[in-house]
Structure 1
Amino acid sequence: MTLTSSIQTRTKIARRQQRSGTPRWLLIGAEIAVPVLLLALWWFASAGSTNTFFPPLQVILERLGQLVQTPAFVVNVGSSVGNLTLSFLLATVIGVVLGLALGLVRPLSWFVEPTIHFFRAIPPVALVPIFVSLIGFGNETRIVAITLAAVFPILISTIDGVRAGEPTLEMVSRVYRLGWRERLFSVTLPAASPRILSGMQVSLITAFVVMIASEMLGSSTGLGAATLLAQQSFAIPDMWAGILVLGIIGYAATALFTLFRRRVLRWYIASQQQEKNA
């Protein structure tokens, strides 16, 4: 294929994408407009509310502005974000390493997979009381509980991704006599990366849920504990402020990971789009 024909082909593909796909500016506008509309609806629906448990959004935002300036609130946010980040990274490392081992060594997976599926079937939140009973109420308990709950989606996705690798690529790597390290980092991991990152996205949501549950059970730090304490103390605006911040953190974590996933899988997304428009 000559340079001219290659440029023409790429131009045709780009034109097809512009014709068939939704404009990017419209998607970004919708993503911004929907939360704004929901907040506006909440604002007007709660305006003038005299219900103790459903205060006006204006009161909640004013209280949130006051809480942001307090050291205790900053400590709680830092504790929650720190536990979530550390546990998610630990779950990623453990899940990918074990997933590669079980995916590449079939006899090993025959012995381990039944146990994996057994623990995966247990609701992640149900594991929190177990670790509290065994380890105590320290910060280590929350990290262990979040990590264990978040590791299974990554582990299973890695195993599936390794086993579903393109056989042609494996054959080519053997023909060229690539070493096991080259095959692992140049063939196996790139081929399995779409499924691994999909598992990581599910794992992030699981880690976020278990983080809140672990903080609400016998903890004195973290946004989950602060929100529960506000509810028990009938500090309802504080409770709603905590819920609002938790939602913001969850949305921000998902958005950042989505950007990371798109950047890592640019080659995969481009190849899928080319096949679709071919």
Structure 2
Amino acid sequence: MSLRSRVALGLVVPVAIVVSYALWSANAASPYFPPLDVILTRFRELWLFDLVASDVLPSLKNLGLGLLLAVIAGIPCGAILGRIRWMGEMFGPLLDFWRSVPPIMLIPPLVLILGIEDSAKVTIIAVGSFFPVCVATADGMRQADPTLVDAVRAMRLGPLKTMVDIYLRAGSPAILGGIQIGLQAAFVLMVASEMLAAYRGIGYLTMQAQVTFDSVTMWAGTLLLALLGFTANAVFVAIRNRVLSWHTGMRVSRASS
């Protein structure tokens, strides 16, 4: 199936849902489900003009900084735990414990300690996204081909070149998968932290709209969050597929042989 056919097929259900809601809400007169054109008008007024600088950009900045810190810390820590066996066994139970804790549970203690400033939200996002990146990197390090590792040792290549050419290359599918999970966790934590402890941001305004029964603004905020999450994930998947094109080609060649 061609790319155009896959995209067209994937749009069938979303388009059907949007059209159905537009037709139903136009005559429903429900205070909880306003007409689609009213939601889109409020969406344009708030998120494309009035609140971009004051709320949208700060939320995206916190998201980006938190995820970046998680990647910067998670990949080296995961590489160490994956390469040094005794350290992996020592810290493995701790990682498993924190990985089983819902990321949202990190918000109350961190808000208590750090307050409700943007730095606190960046920390919440970074801590919650760190664990999937770290665990995935550690698992990826263990997927290196032992034959290649022995060959590199026989050639006496430096540790940095060995790490980059062998371990990181072999672990890149797992690492990028962990970053994708971290991205999803970052979005959840961004929204939740703004809803629970904030004075600005997309999540804050969406929650305030719900509290004040402003259903139009609430749905406009929900629509923005859905579009941002979908777009970020789609962009990341495109980058991941481009970076891992060698891995996909290798799997295809193995399957054909």
Q: Is 2:191 aligned against 1:175?
A: no
CA distance in 2, matches of 1:208, 1:62: 25
Q: Of the candidates 118, 124, 149, which is equivalent to residue 97 of structure 2?
A: 118
State how far apart, in whole Å, the 2-side matches of 1:46 and 1:172 are: 66
Alignment match, 1:188: 167
Q: Please point out which of 209, 212, 217 is paired with 1:230.
A: 209
1:133 aligns with 2:112: yes
Q: Which amino acid aligns with 1:81?
A: L
Other-structure match for 2:121: 142
Q: Is the 8 A contact 1:43 1:56 kept in 2?
A: yes
Secondary structure of 1:130's match? Answer: helix
- Offset from partner CA, 1:13-50 (integer Å, 9 cap, x none): xxxxxxxxx22221122234433222112211212121
Report SS of the residue matched to 1:47: helix
Flag the structure with larger Rg. Answer: 1
Alpha-carbon RMSD across the aligned residues, in angstroms, is 1.3
Q: CA deviation at 1:69?
A: 5.0
> 1:266: which partner in 2?
245
Where do 5+ consecutive residues of structure 2 fail to align?
none
Alignment of 1:59-98 (within 5 A): 59-68=38-47, 70-98=49-77
CA distance in 1, matches of 2:48, 2:133: 37
Distance in 1 of aligned mates of 2:169 and 2:120: 34
Equivalent residue, structure 2, for 1:212: 191
Equivalent-residue separation in structure 2 for 1:217 and 1:134 (angstroms): 15
Normalising by structure 2, report the TM-score: 0.96
What letter corresponds to residue 146 of structure 2 in structure 1?
P
**Cα deviation, residue 147, structure 1:** 0.8
Q: In the alignment, which residue of structure 2 is the partner of 1:36?
A: 15
Output the CA distance in 1 between the equivalents of 2:245 and 2:198. 41
Which whole-Å deviations, capped at 9, do the CAs of 1:87-129 have from their partners, x for residues lacking one? 1111111110100111111122222222221211111001101
Give yes or no for the alignment of 1:151 onto 2:130. Answer: yes
Amino acid of the structure 2 residue aligned with 1:272: R
One-letter amino acid matched to 1:204: L
**Alignment-derived partner of residue 248 in structure 1:** 227
SS at match of 1:62: helix
Q: What secondary structure is seen at the aligned counterpart in 1 of 2:197?
A: coil
Q: What per-residue deviation string (whole Å, max 9, x for no partner) do you get for residues 222-253 of structure 1?
A: 10001001111221100100000000000000
- Contact between 2:47 and 2:56, CA under 8 Å: does it hold in 1? no
- 8 A contact 1:68–1:74 mirrored in 2: no
Count of residue pairs the alignment pairs up: 257
Deviation of residue 188 (structure 1)? 0.9
Structure 1 residue 277 displacement after superposition: 2.3
Q: Which amino acid in 1 is paired with 2:256?
A: N
Task: Answer whether contact 1:215 1:221 (CA < 8 A) is retained.
Answer: yes
**Aligned 8 A contact 2:42 2:216 in 1:** yes
TM-score (norm 1): 0.89
1:142/1:211 contact within 8 Å kept: yes
* 3-state secondary structure, aligned to 2:56: helix
Consecutive aligned runs of 4 or more in structure 1 exceeding 4 Å deviation:
none
**Is the 1:99–1:158 contact (alpha carbons within 8 Å) kept by the matching residues of 2?**
yes
Q: Could you tell me how far apart the structure 1 residues matched to 2:66 and 2:176 are?
A: 16
Q: What is the deviation of 1:77?
A: 1.2
CA contact 1:103–1:163 (8 Å) conserved in 2: yes
Change (3 A) 1:71 1:55: closer
